[in-house]
Amino acid sequence: MLGLMMHRPLLVSSLIQHADRHHGSTPVVSRNAEGTLYRGTWHTVHERSRRLAHALQGLGVAPGDRIGTLAWNNHRHLEAYYAISGMGAVCHTINPRLFPEQIAGIIQHAGDSVLLLDPMFLPLLESLAPQLSAVRHVIVMGEAGVPLPPSPLPLLAYEALLDVASSDYVWPEMDELTAAALCYTSGTTGKPKGVLYSHRSTLLHAWAVSLPDSLSFSARDAVLPVVPLFHANAWGFPYAAALTGAKLVLPGPLLDGAHLYQLLESEKVTLTAGVPTVWNNLMQYLQAEGRQLHYLQRLGVGGAACPKTILSYFEDVQKVTVLPGWGMTETSPVAALTQPKARQANLQGQARRDWLARSGRALFGVDMEIVDDQGQPLPHDGRTCGHLQVQGHWVCDGYYKEPASPLQQGWFPTGDVAVIDGEGFMQITDRAKDMIKSGGEWISSIELEQVTAGHPAILEAAVIGVQHPHWGERPFLMAVKKSGQEVTAGELRGYLEQRIAKWWVPDEIVFVDSLPHTATGKLNKAALRAQRGL
């Protein structure tokens, strides 16, 4: 017997409709590349996204078409998110920090027929013009009244299109399994692959990240995603903010410590999220200038393990609750968050800092398991390392235009190695490709980097495995010193010897001026290995 309840498909358009209808006057603030603030509301986002949907329809965009975006976190990009998915097309966010050749390859692979981009990316796209013959229109999301430059690309001005488009667009009803968005993995460990989110997966994920034991969004919050809209849907911020009616603050491309601090304060931001590199920069700025954050309550950190120095600085000095999380493009991305259960709620000092090193416990809607090389489940004892696998409502089932399924017995293999403790808290020990096998035993590069970054003179550290005739592999450590700070390799070795097993201490320690980062701001171990001819 079937239940007798209404069936409403879970559609992205319902988010913006709700935000307009019930939180229409709540601000959506956006900063452009020049630092100027635009002040809209959920009502204006809805109104302008409907105009854009009309304009795209006028350009021949049909359901299922892939529409690419190359843009920072700004209100036009947000409008594009809602217009494209809402009309049944697929919003393909492209990471502008990828190599130009990768960008061209991704646009071709996705088959994007229209591109929307920030004006600053025009030279980049023009350099790729010969490879973009399938792109019919390029819409420049510039300020109103700014004339378009002569270009080899078929350019149109965003604001001029909106000016003549009507806002009476009615969002179509469609199957909730329809594709809503497409995001390619950033290729940290291989060729970029397209992850195709459905309306249903996007909505369920937005619901899950809004929950109190997740990032906890509410209509009383002002939320600022530092994580880009092109990095796995900005971890659900654009959707969860509409779902809950939170004020949304979009920081544009100015993401250095000074600009970020200024916006967090002036817009009274209560929740933000980003990769550790961003928080390291903000911490350096706050420390150097002796500044205090007055409004920020929660800081989400994910995408890579967060150095303990950063966790303790924001918790102890800035009195901000840090929320480490784990996920990947393939998991929409949020799958696990480090929120305490009753037993961890009152942990203080070192005990809390140690616990915060966890990557998170599973949100309802996803499940996690660790398995051995044969795929057999391993104990959840907080010590046994295994291959992490996940399944759930917002976990990918396959890649766009890739016939082979990535699943293994119904589970998605993450490529990460992790432990899970008796309370269900998971901790990533490494990416499988980054683990170092020395004398038959595993060394966690993340753990070594964490301990090294704890030295007061160290800004950032990276560890890779290098071949060794006797041990198989040995850890090789590269570290960047904080400006004005001194430490020798011998002193650093001494520091490490007091904190980790002797056989974990790297044989070679070198200081470098900077370390390479990926397009999503993570340590680029592939580039480090290539530099050493590995």
In 65-171, which ranges are E strands? 66-70, 90-93, 114-117, 137-140, 155-157
Q: Is 147:156 a contact under the CB 8 Å cutoff?
A: no
**Residue number, 103 or 153, with CB nearest to ligand ADP:** 103
Rule CB under 6 A: say whether 304 interacts with ligand ADP. Answer: yes
- Return the exposure string of 172-185: e unless at least 16 CB atoms fall within 10 Å of the residue's CB, then b: eebebebbbbbbbb
Give dist(CA 19, CA 78) in Å, integer. 13
Q: Using the rule CB under 6 A, is 416 a contact of ligand ADP?
A: yes
Which of 431, 481, 499, 517: binder of ligand ADP (CB under 6 A)?
A: 431
Which of 38, 39, 42 minimizes the C-alpha distance to 23? Answer: 42
With respect to ligand ADP, which residue has the nearer C-beta, 86 or 324?
324
- Choose the stretch contacting ligand ADP; rule: CB under 6 A; options: 214-222, 248-256, 466-474, 516-524: 516-524
CA pair distance 411, 388, nearest whole angstrom: 10
Q: Is residue 487 a contact residue for ligand ADP (CB under 6 A)?
A: no
Looking at the Cβ atoms of 51 and 109, the one nearer to ligand ADP is 109
Helices 75-86 + 42-58 axis angle, to 10: 60
Regarding 305 and contact with ligand ADP (CB under 6 A), the answer is: yes
Question: Which among 284-292, 300-308, 456-464, 487-495 is the span making contact with ligand ADP, rule CB under 6 A?
Answer: 300-308
Q: Residues 171, 84: contact at Cβ < 8 Å?
A: no
Of 41 and 102, the one with the shorter C-beta distance to ligand ADP is 102
- Choose between 142 and 300: whose C-beta lies nearer to ligand ADP: 300
**Between 326 and 504, CB nearer to ligand ADP:** 326
Query: Could you say which residues in the range 346-385 bind ligand ADP, by CB under 6 A?
Result: 359
Is residue 328 near ligand ADP by the rule CB under 6 A? yes
**Residue 412 touches ligand ADP, criterion: CB under 6 A:** no
Name which position in 216, 309, 329, 444 contacts ligand ADP (CB under 6 A). 329
- Residue 467 buriedness (CB in 10 A; 0-12 / 13-18 / 19+): exposed
Length of the chain: 534
Long-range own/partner contacts, residues 372-378 (CB < 8 A, 24 or more apart): 375/408, 375/409
Please provide the DSSP assignment of 408-421 as one string. Answer: BTTBEEEEEEEEE-
Side by side, the strands of the sheet bearing 155-157 are: 155-157, 137-140, 114-117, 66-70, 90-93, 179-184, 194-198
Burial class (CB in 10 A: 0-12, 13-18, 19+), 213: middle
Active site residues: 185, 330, 437, 442
Interface with ligand ADP (CB under 6 A), residue from 19, 428, 478, 500? 428
Which positions from 186 to 225 touch ligand ADP by CB under 6 A, shown as an x/- string? xxxx------------------------------------
- Smallest gap from Cβ 81 to ligand ADP, in A, equals 18
Q: Is 307 in the site for ligand ADP (CB under 6 A)?
A: no
Q: Which of residues 81-110 bind ligand ADP (CB under 6 A)?
A: none
By CB under 6 A, is residue 520 in contact with ligand ADP?
yes
Nearer to ligand ADP, 433 or 468 (CB): 433
Q: Which single residue is written with the structure tokens 């140690």?
A: 354
β-strand 27-31 against 247-250: which pairing, if any? Answer: parallel
Binding site for ligand ADP (CB under 6 A): 185-189, 232, 302-305, 324, 326-329, 359, 414-416, 428, 431, 518, 520, 522
